[in-house]
Amino acid sequence: MKYFAGFLLLLIGCGAANAARSLSDSEMLGQKMILDFRYFCADNTPAATCRQPVTELTPALADILTSGAIGGVILFSENIRSVAQVVKFNYQLQKLMHDNNLPPLFIAIDQEGGRVARIPDAMATRYVGNMAIGASYAAYDTEFATQVANGLANSLRLLGFNVNFAPSIDVNSNPHNPVINVRSYGESPTLVAELGIATIAALQKQQIVSAVKHFPGHGDTSVDSHTGLPKVEHSLAHIKRADLLPFVRAIKSATPPQMIMSAHIQYPALDDTKVTSRTGEEIALPATLSKKILTGLLRNQLGYTGLIVTDALDMAGIAQYFTPSQALVQTFSAGADIALMPFSIRNPDDIHRFNQIRQHVLGALASGALSHTEFTASAARILALKEGHAAGQFLQQSLLVRQARATAALPSAAQQATELALAQAALTQLFNTKVLPLDISQRIAAIMPDTARCHAFTAALTGISPAIKVQCYTSLLASDMRQTAGWQSADIVVLADITPVHSVAETGGLDNPATLAGRISANARQQWQYALLKQAKTAGKKTVFVSMRAPYQIRHYEAVSDAALATFGYNVQTLPHKDAQRTTARGAVFEALAQGLYGKIPLTGRSPVTIPLRQH
């Protein structure tokens, strides 16, 4: 393969279009892909069982990137161990491309904040999440959207990232949405647009490319596109006034997003073209593969001139129905500039298969199945953004300087203070029948989703007053607590719920794996929690229900709760205890919750989604 020596000189002197025309077809294809290297097993361990994290530049990784002139990489939590390590890794990646006269990489990450954050809490503040920002809007307008995005961008820039797949500007109009819910700012398209635009502007002001998602909208689905292929049956009129509105306004704003991510979702009102999948099933083209949606709607009708990037192509919404080769050819034909995670490379055999996939796409380009003119124009857009956004600027200082600066700045006390301020501003009281604020003399029985959150809540109550008496239990196994001493003597029962249920990885690591494996179903947990609160009221205790994720669940507990609060987030960080043999936990959400329960802060939050209550 020929390398394009003097690439940067050509780009600066002749412009992105001429630079793109100087690339070979193979090099243009490489620029149009962002790969993940979450795991790699040099001993050819099968991909399904390979769990060796990639945390530094290896010869195999270097060869893939340089031989394929790959345009970008995406890192996950498995790739990140410490500040110094990830700075070195990202520096190595950019230096590799520079030393081989290749364009700088897009180094991307999903750091939305809230439940989608790849960087460990001990390294960078994750904040509470978008729906919490939505809840703060009534009192604080776009203040927290800007502050959070500033914090995220600062951390990412220090660590060597230049693309953030954020924010989600999906309008969460479906209470049963399993994947977006609190990742959305709310149900109002205008609210989502305003907060999204503020976030985009703050990210891009600090030279972090904002890739908004998931076009044309993932807010009204009951299927997760990671595990299936959703379909949105909205009318065209509804799509325009709801799903599309945040994207339209962002594109027309003073700081349009430099990337827009497509959704693996069928939108028959936008494109009802039927195709036969690899399983023989006839389906409507998902947006990611639809020329009517990506080119006809996004490019031509909405006038978007930035980069279109797909959601991960290895997700079931695409991979279950199309081969990697089919998906790549179809999405490039549809108008995507960048294919994200088109194939998972986990061992040397996968490298061979990846090269076969590349040859298939190059064959489609040579045969005219893919337009060479469109391919070149796409490559030019990519190169122009890299140059205009100074994607390779991380090399302008030495590795040691980069490591020292990041280590000194992270984690940031100022960012942690903003996280707590947002948690306080978002805390929303849905109803209160003269139960709140609590009195320090009242004894508390708390039911939390797991042990880490028990520790975080207990520590937060101690921060209010060491005199508060609290016994904390978990709802993992739904055991009968009625005979326990703490339960019998309690005056107040505080029950916190995470619905949809959080993943095992989110539990904090303080529970026995066997206990986590035996977690009861969502329906069984809801029935148990309802019965528990009903029993508490029958026994003369006061009850407080706390929704920590999507707040729609509150309506199921209204009849057995004396008060209800919503936090819109449930982040927790496990920490070493002063006793070296123990581990504890903390979380801004729990500190704000404790302060709210005892009247230490005003409850200014307003739910950005509708909760149909019957009695309040």
Name the one residue in this structure whose structure tokens are 């769990």: 51
CB 128 within 8 A of CB 422: yes
- Active-site choice (36, 220, 311, 350): 311
Question: How far from 255 is each of 21, 44, 95, 157, CA to CA, in Å?
Answer: 28, 46, 30, 19
DSSP notation for 392-412: TGGGGS-HHHHHHHHHHH-S-
DSSP letters spanning 115-173: TEE-S-TTTS---S-HHHHHHHHHHHTTHHHHHHHHHHHHHHHHHT--EE---B-----
Q: Rounded CA gap, 96 and 160, in Å? A: 14
Q: Confirm if 265 and 286 have CB atoms less than 8 A apart.
A: yes
Query: Residues 191, 134: contact at Cβ < 8 Å?
Result: yes
The count of other CB atoms within 10 Å of the CB of residue 403 is: 21
Phi, psi of 277 (to 5 degrees): -80, 175
Which tokens hold the place of 349? Answer: 């055999």
Strands 106-109 and 72-74: parallel
How does DSSP assign 327-366, residue by residue?
Answer: HHHHHHHHT-SBEES-S---SHHHHHHHHHHHHHHHHHHH
d(CA 282, CA 278): 9
Q: What gap in Å lies between CA 102 and CA 96, rounded to an integer?
A: 8
- Strand, helix or coil at 56? coil
| Nearest one of 42, 154, 163, 45 to 104, comparing CA atoms | 163
Task: Provide the pairing of β-strand 307-309 with 282-284.
Answer: unpaired
Two tokens at 161?
Answer: 């990232």
Burial class (CB in 10 A: 0-12, 13-18, 19+), 98: middle
Q: Please provide the size of the chain in residues.
A: 616
CA-only gyration radius of the chain, Å: 25
342: left (phi over 0), alpha (psi -120 to 50) or beta: alpha
The reply to whether 311 belongs to the active site is: yes
Select from 383, 313, 359, 343 the least CA-distant residue to 67.
359
Dist CA 167 CA 127 (whole Å) = 13
Report the catalytic residues.
311
